[in-house]
Structure 1
Amino acid sequence: MNFRVLLLAGAAPFAIVSSSALAEETVTASAALPETVDTTAGDPTVGQAAEPPQESSFGTGANESGTIVVTARRRAETAQDVPLAISVVGGDQIDSTGSFNVGRLQQITPTLQFYSSNPRNTAVNIRGLGVPFGLTNDGIEQGVGIYIDDVYNSRVASATFDFLDVKQIEVLRGPQGTLYGKNTTAGAINITTNQPTFDFEARAEASVGNLNYVQAKAAVSGPITDTLAARLAVSSTNRSGTIYNATSRQWIQSQDNIGLRGQLLFQPNDAFSITLAGDYSEQDAVCCGSVYVRTGTTQRALNRQFAALAAAQGYSPVSTNPFDRVTDLDAALQAGNKIGGASIKLKWDVGPGTLTSVTAWRFWDWQPQNDRDFTGLPIVTRSQNPSQQDQYTQELRYNYSGDTVDFVVGAFGFYQRIDTQGTESHGSASTKWNLAPTNALYNSNVLDGLTARNTQFLKNTSVAVYGQASWKVTPELTLQPGLRVNYDKKDGFYQRRVFNGAGTEILLDGTTSATKTAQLAIFTPQEISPEFSDWNFSYDFTASYKVAEGVLAYATYAKSFKSGGINQNGVPTDAQNNPLLGTATVKPESVNHYEVGIKTEFRDIGAIFNLSAFRTDIKDYQANVNNGQFGVLRGYLANASAVRSQGFEADFSIRPSERFNAYTNAAYTDATYRKFTDAPCPPELSGGTVATGSQVPGAAGTPGALSPANCDISGQRLPGVSKWSFSFGFEANAPVSLLAQDGQIYFGYDGSYRSDFSSNPSPSIYTNVDGYSLSNFRAGFRTDDGFDIYGWVRNAFDQNYFEQLFVGPGNTGLIAGLPGDPRTWGFTLRKAF
């Protein structure tokens, strides 16, 4: 179920005000398909000057009348008229709440989940659905689409970059395949940037804080000729790390981001425009690592569990308190990340409708280095999978608006090429860590220098036609059907070659030896060329009814899908080390989605209350399966028979006067495996000899016990999903005159809470993350002419919490983790011109 809130507000693109929290722009709407007035997908002011600052501003999502305007359905309309669950966050609110990327955005949008152990291994989910939790596999689609000015970003790594000159962000919940180019089954994040204007405008912002935090942003826009306008924006963020690596003597988990975006608008008349845009962003952080959290007993022999293995090599973690924020990782760490591209958008008013074409190219270059054993021992000394991506998209759509019927029809083409080159090497501690003391090779260096070199590529092609119409049966009743026809084709290649410490290639040539057997247990050569292709038809239907002035009720059914995929990280092997080709592909997800909601607005007191209930049933859910060994497989995809996410969301906001506003948003999400009988087992049921035939597996966490081959986790919770999540806050202000300037002093608070969640694909007693709450405060002075100075503190009460927990390889019982940010504080100065 879904209740969402919104606060009426008014703000100009450069009216830098306090974005009184989220209520002001955290809107939860619902969407049907009203008047088809295409506004360049979210640019109702393309080519126009910025609106003048207004006294009551809640962010750039508001228009002159103080109503939140959204473009979720490819045209400008008020959020309360859209029969779809949607949260809206304006650019000023993003700045004031410190939500400068999707990770921070989740604190103010309760049903959005963001997890990132590094930019590549990042997941963005809505209502617990989207992509499998864990290691990223390029062979499947994202369930949550990220769009920036109509351009689809296929790799979720883009979510780790700073927002750049953003006007507003709309988080749409539920399937969006009949209105958006790329099919998305869980929702979409629709980001609209500020556009070039024919009146000069500019803004600058600088922030400083603890942890050597420095952030600077600037944007300038204006005319070049009467028909040509330009806009340029830059952003830079730097911050020291939050974890000290005692081995390298560096602070890791730092931030080092820079971004640049430029746009040219050619608008010879009111009916035609061309926008050329280009952007480039780069990250070069000292990242990404983890800290020791705990150990938990597995079914491995006791002398092969973490405590015994560490003692045998005279090792102990540098700290056993994860919130000391100290680690001792000994492998090189790097998270070089570059992303960018160019697009050209043509908009042409043709009779009663608008024709829009968006052509785009995007690239992604990922240069990582990791410590995959999570310890200070030279077990895995090198782990990296550099990757390069090129993506091309073309979307063409036509919007028509009539007295009783509106519609949108479109076509979308997508091509993606990803190349990855992986290297993983073992060091001098690997032999004793991976071989039993009874093995004759235990005191040798048989695994020292053992190296796997992986080569893989993916060619991903998708084409679709889609459409959605709305029939206004009466002034109160609107019926909205939509449909989509989609074709997907994926061609992949994966090769792993294995070399010993002397550089000699180890081949599967039928010869055997004790040395070769030990080495193949770590890395097995493999070569596969998986491929997948399929047609899909999906549709949805929404009925909405205006019960009374300011009251809209709606109900939606959607039959959707997520394209099938291929395993790009390798597949399991049989006893003879032959790849099990039946696991090379995964089936498409089949989605049935139901939603009902009501949106209410009380203009006399400036309040909004929205709520909705939802249920999403997925057949053949694409789950991530993690292998417990070091090199056999890092993770692969499999289909869970059935998954269900259901719940409700509620939003309330109120602004009784210009001096005060408040909001609260709540979400309850019950996301479970309905049927997954052959799932990977959690660590407490892993590591022992696999039970066969009539043998009975031992109790969980019993050293030396028999382990089940797989586990039935039906009825258990999906990873990463809190049952309860809340965001809430307020802002109060008072008029003052300061330094000969008339303005306002203000004080704001934004809080969030989420209950506990599982941090492993198969729920484990060792990887449950406790619930936590965060509190952010800000106070400052602003003027009507765009000057704003304020101080802020985030995680004000220095809450200790984990963003993720990780199961160490080898079923040794090691659990590592990524602590969330500690208390941070600083000051921000902004000025609009």
Structure 2
Amino acid sequence: MTCFSHSKWTLGLMAGVASLAAALPARSQSADPDGAVVEELVVTARRRAETLNDVPISLTVQTGEQLEQRGAPDITSLQRVTPNLTLQVSRGTNSTLTAFIRGVGQQDPLWGFEPGVGLYIDDVYVARPQGAVLDIYDVERIEVLRGPQGTLYGRNTIGGAIKYVTKRLDTSKPQLRARAALGSYQQRDFILSGSLPLGQRAAVGAAIAKYDRDGYGKNLFTGAGTYNKDVISGRLSLEMHPTEDLFLSLSGDYMEDDSNTNHGHRERPIPAALAGLVNPPACRAVLESRYDTCAGLGDANEVITKGASLLAEWSPEGSFTFKSITAYREGVTHGTGIDFDNTPARILDVAVADTIYRDDQFSQELQLLYEGKRLQGVAGVYYLDASASGQFDTILQAANLTQGTTGSVDTKSFAVFADFSYSLNERLSISVGGRWTRDKKNALVFKANYLGLGSPITGRAAAPFQTLTNYGASKTFEEFTPRLSLTYELTPDVNAYAAYGRGFKSGGFDMRGDATATPATRDGYDPEIVDSYEAGLKGALFDRRLRFTSAAFYTKYKGQQITTQRVNPAGTGVVSFVDNVGSSTIYGAELEAQAQLTERFSASLALGYTKAKFDEFLSYVPNAAPPPTFVLADVADQRQFQNTPKWTGNLSLAYEHPLGDAGRLQLLGSMSFRSDSSMFETPFPQVDQPAYELYDLNLVYTSADERWRVGLHGRNLTNKRYRTGAYTFAFDPAAPATLVFGDSVIGFYGPPRTVTLTLDHRF
């Protein structure tokens, strides 16, 4: 049960904002502007350096310093402080990312599916979500751009974009920093980073991080920990200024996640008809701890991602800058799969012998930036060559059936783009941009049924008795995505803007598609299109002791790609559909504010509201008339948006106490809130997440010379249990064949209460 309703929480926030606003003018007469102002941030949301106030985009920025002070373990912590953002570890994984902004995203991380929120590391697009739960180290800032970013960031940014910006190296003197974290569940994190100048115009940098933590729960069948962490990652970089006009940066990164497989928690007992398959008997019931499992499929898991990039930036005398970004990335996931029934039996297991996913990508981007007195902007071209593949067996013990699935998809994408701003007068400016994108996809899909438990995918010699899908296909998608905005300077510190933008998410082919049950799967699915209208107000008030950003948006969303899985009434096992289900309307608002109430006391607020409704939802539903098949029907009144709470918010209070020559002490407390949300488009009350609040408290000491920092960080202090994902293969008495799924309803949960001690030293 939540502490209070979301309406009371919202009213409380509004009252708090009113109190802050009322308090600020009362102090403005005596405030010291130099000691009590909120600093303005510089961002690169439009691919060029601008102040946050000047960017006509709804945008949240968290610096590396802010994230460390909050004890943020990885980028999913942004969900706590960013309006209308869902950013979580994907169900059944430890390092795959699920991202939604304003109701738009993608939960299914299967190869070939495209995310709806783009992730960028130093302007390099990360095409796949595997290994994308980035840890917080060596980071300058993270920018979260809300709304479609189809002009400057291109395909698959229809919900928005997340930019992870690393720190530039210091070429003036050596730098060395060591950081350690010890905490709950035997947390043991160690990070070492530094840089070394090479003469006056170059520097080499390196960072290495090792993260270890015991599990929040236990696999009661194998004895292994669940929700544990075993990650090593590193980064090498070389930066050079061969001339005053030329900058070069070569970097490489590596991440290996050996954390145990996350099988989740079974939310229903084993049906009596299948109880005899499950031993020991204790594994037939719902386990008390939400972090425990009885999964028998295995615990081994390994995710490896690595990449390299070269940035070349030439700024000759004048107003032009030429930039080239060349990058290559690859990833592989080895593991045992996901035990959907969460028992030692093989009632419903998705298993592999070795590799589950494999992907690689090469990208090249060329930019021409112009910075004039009244005209500024960027134009460029972009090329991506990517491939992704995978394989798995779906094992149904009660039916003595295995469904083997394997396939691959190759993508070649080309785009040209431009975005320019022009100052019409001292106060009014206009921005116009557009991007043309062409995606070509080649797919291979194979799916077959095998008698017995296993197929050649999992190392069992067997021949299919029924080939369901076996095809190769190619499809090309093209789209033009414009953007237009007007910005008006109301005062030197306050800007108003209005903007229109279009986003495009590429179409593709269903890698799980059953061409026997649904022959149209061979034709693939079409792109998604988002048209968004936005108006905002941002700036600074009260001698710049209050900074705020606000926006209201209205979005038309067409062609949503929705994944549905169910038993086939014809008896051919699990059937997957990826449909362009129709259209929807989304609207809402966002408010962020940071206030320096006194020289020592500050507050920040984030509040988001999203109302998302399907106008049309075309879905295949079982046809009762023989022969058993599926028919298309509009079920919009029975569906709702997944991972999209109506309200999200955060209220943080910070107090800094000077200790003279000994340094300073900062106390930071925060409360974040999310109203109830659905895990899937089809509501399933047993796993849908009710509204909840999370409370965090941080105490940080910093020495006077800034070399030492000690922090004590408490997160989720009330030990709230909340779901971040689910799978629902429920038994339906009206469809007896669904018993073979074992009534497997699985939940995945966010971290419990943790306390962490951090020690940071800069040499």
Tell me if both proteins adopt one fold, taking TM over 0.5 as the criterion: yes
Q: Report the counterpart of residue 418 of structure 2 in structure 1.
A: 467
1:443 paired residue number? none
Aligned to 1:766: 686
1:419, CA displacement in angstroms?
Answer: 2.7
Partner residue of 1:331? 297
CA distance in 2, matches of 1:91, 1:476: 33
Match of 1:93 in 2: 66
| Residue deviations 1:698-722 (CA, integer Å, cap 9, x gap) | xxxxxxxx99986613474211111
Over 3 Å counting, the alpha-carbon distance change for 1:709 and 1:372 in structure 2 is farther
State yes or no: 1:310 paired with 2:278. no
Q: Distance in 2 between matches of 1:607 and 1:166?
A: 26
The alpha carbon displacement at 1:679 in A equals 5.4
1:396 aligns with 2:366: yes
Question: Paired residue for 1:776?
Answer: 696
Partner of 2:10: none
State the secondary structure of the residue aligned to 2:417. strand
Structure 1 window deviating more from structure 2 (205-214 vs 581-590): it is 581-590
Q: 1:823 aligns with which of 742, 749, 753?
A: 753
1:160 has 2:133 as partner:
yes
Query: Which consecutive unaligned segments of at least 5 residues does structure 1 have?
Result: 1-22, 24-54, 296-304, 435-446, 507-514, 681-688, 696-705
Identity of aligned residues (%): 28
Q: Which letter maps to 1:238?
A: D
Q: Which residue of 2 aligns with 1:359?
A: 326
Q: Compared with structure 1, are the counterparts of its residues 263 and 57 closer, same or farther at alpha carbon in structure 2 (3 Å cutoff)?
A: farther
Compared CA separation, residues 679 and 754, structure 1 to 2 (3 A): farther
Per the alignment, residue 832 of structure 1 pairs with 762
One of 74, 81, 106 as aligned partner of 2:47: 74
Q: Which residue of the partner structure matches residue 641 of structure 2?
A: 718
Q: Is the 8 A contact 1:567 1:584 kept in 2?
A: no
Where in structure 2 are the equivalents of 1:416-431 lying within 5 Å? 416-426=386-396, 430-431=397-398
Does the 8 Å CA contact 1:113/1:125 hold for their aligned counterparts? yes
Compared with structure 1, are the counterparts of its residues 356 and 603 closer, same or farther at alpha carbon in structure 2 (3 Å cutoff)? farther
Other-structure match for 1:126: 101
AA at the equivalent of 2:223: R
Q: Secondary structure at the match of 1:758?
A: coil
Q: Is the 8 A contact 1:650 1:665 kept in 2?
A: yes
Any idea what the Cα deviations from partners look like across 1:237-265, whole Å, max 9, x if unmatched? Answer: 11111121110012111111111101101
Structure 1 residue 112 displacement after superposition: 1.7
For 2:308, the equivalent position in structure 1 comes to 342
Preserved contact between residue 234 and residue 261 of structure 1 (Cα < 8 Å): yes
Q: Which residue pairs with 1:685 in the alignment? A: none
> What count of residue pairs does the alignment treat as equivalent?
707
Residue identity matched to 1:373: D
Within-5 A mapping of 1:395-544: 395-426=365-396, 430-431=397-398, 434=399, 447=400, 450-501=401-452, 524-544=467-487
Structure-2 separation of matches of 1:763 and 1:174: 25
> CA separation of 1:137/1:421 partners in 2, compared to 1, >3 Å: closer, same or farther?
closer
CA contact (8 A) 2:150 2:502 kept: no
Q: Which amino acid aligns with 2:618?
A: T
Query: For residues 98 and 237 of structure 2, what CA distance do their matches in structure 1 show?
Result: 29
1:373 paired residue number? 341
Shift in alpha-carbon separation, 1:311–1:635, aligned structure 2, 3 A: same
User: Does 1:547 pair with 2:490?
Assistant: yes
**Paired residue secondary structure (1:107):** helix
Compare 604-613 and 174-183 and name the one that shifted more. Answer: 174-183
The AA in structure 2 aligned to 1:555 is: A
Shift of 1:309: 3.1
Are the counterparts in 2 of residues 222 and 230 from structure 1 also a CA contact under 8 Å? yes
Cα gap change, 1:313 to 1:285, in 2 (>3 Å): closer
Hey, what does 2:538 align to over in structure 1?
A: 599
**Counterpart-to-counterpart distance in 1, 2:713 and 2:95:** 30
Contact 2:188 2:212 in 1 (8 A): yes
The Cα shift of 1:160 comes to 1.8
CA 481–715 in structure 1, closer or farther in 2 if over 3 Å, else same: farther
Q: CA deviation at 1:692?
A: 2.7
Q: CA deviation at 1:212?
A: 0.6
CA distance in 1, matches of 2:562, 2:493: 42
Q: How many Å apart are 1:332 and its aligned residue?
A: 0.9
* Structure 2 unmatched ranges of 5 or more: 1-19, 21-33, 732-737
1:215 lines up with 2:154 in the alignment: no
Please provide the CA RMSD for this pair.
2.9
Partner of 2:502: 559
* Alpha-carbon distance, 1:643 to partner: 2.1
Q: Which position in structure 2 is the counterpart of 1:42?
A: none
Partners of 1:451 and 1:76 lie apart in 2 by: 54
For 1:57 and 1:163, locate their aligned partners in 2 and report how far apart those are by CA, in whole Å. 28
Q: Deviations over 1:430-481 (max 9, x none)?
A: 23xx4xxxxxxxxxxxx1xx54443312110100000011110011101111
1:808 aligns with 729
Structure with bigger RCO (C-alpha 8 Å, 6+ apart): 1
CA contact (8 A) 1:461 1:490 kept: yes
1:134-159 residue CA offsets vs partner (Å, 9 max, x unmatched): x3233332221111111110012232
Give the drift of 1:768.
1.8
**Letter in structure 2 aligned against 1:692:** A
1 CA distance for matches of 2:284 and 2:210?
34
Query: Which residue is equivalent to 2:15?
Result: none
What do the CA deviations read for 1:758-782 (whole angstroms, capped 9, x no partner)?
A: 1123222333211111111111321
Query: In 2, distance between residues paired with 1:488 and 1:145?
Result: 16
Q: Distance in 1 between matches of 2:761 and 2:579?
A: 52
AA at the equivalent of 2:613? T
Could you tell me how far 1:532 is from its partner in structure 2?
1.4
Partner of 1:31: none
In the alignment, what sits opposite 1:589?
528
The equivalent residue for 1:172 is: 145
Pair 1:617-2:556 in alignment = yes
Question: Take 2:105 and 2:175, find their aligned partners in 1: how far apart are those partners?
Answer: 39
Q: In 1, distance between residues paired with 2:701 and 2:241?
A: 38
Distance change in 2, residues 1:600/1:452 (3 Å): same
For residues 541-565 of structure 1, give each alpha carbon's deviation from its aligned partner in whole angstroms, at most 9, with x where no partner exists: 0011011231111111123322221
Distance 1:333 1:690, change over 3 A: farther
The one-letter amino acid of 2:532's match is H
Q: Residues 504 and 265 (structure 1 numbering): CA distance in 2 closer, same or farther, change over 3 Å?
A: closer
Q: Report the CA distance shift for 1:104/1:335 in structure 2 as closer, same or farther (over 3 A).
A: farther
Relative to the length of structure 2, the TM-score reads 0.87
Q: Is the 8 A contact 1:254 1:285 kept in 2?
A: yes
* Letter paired with 2:328: W
Letter in 1 for 2:333: W
3-state SS of 2:131 partner: helix
Q: Could you tell me whether the CA contact under 8 Å between 2:112 and 2:388 is conserved in 1?
A: no
Partner of 1:788: 709
Instruction: Find the residue that maps to 1:93 and give its secondary structure.
Output: helix
Q: For residues 368 and 530 of structure 1, what CA distance do their matches in structure 2 show? A: 29
CA distance in 2, matches of 1:653, 1:504: 58
**Does the 8 Å contact 2:473/2:522 carry over to 1?**
no
More strand by share: 2
Q: Is the 8 A contact 1:330 1:381 kept in 2?
A: no
Q: 1:183 to 1:136 in 2, by over 3 A?
A: closer
Which deviates further from its counterpart, 167-176 or 372-381? 372-381
Distance (whole Å) between structure 2 residues aligned to residue 461 and residue 57 of structure 1: 51
Residues 760 and 806 of structure 1 are in contact (CA less than 8 Å); yes or no, is this contact kept in structure 2? Answer: no
Q: Give the Cα–Cα distance (whole angstroms) in 2 for the partners of residues 634 and 832 of structure 1.
A: 56
**CA separation in 1, counterparts of 2:248 and 2:695?**
44
For each residue in 1:602-643, what CA deviation from the matched residue of structure 2 results, as whole angstroms up to 9, or x when unmatched? 152611232111111111111112224698446441101102
The residue type paired with residue 420 of structure 1 is G
User: Over residues 39-62 of structure 1, what are the superposed CA-to-partner deviations in whole Å (9 max), with x where a residue is unaligned?
Assistant: xxxxxxxxxxxxxxxx9899xxx9
Residues 1:631 and 1:707: Cα distance change in structure 2 (over 3 Å): closer
In structure 1, the residue matched to 2:734 is none
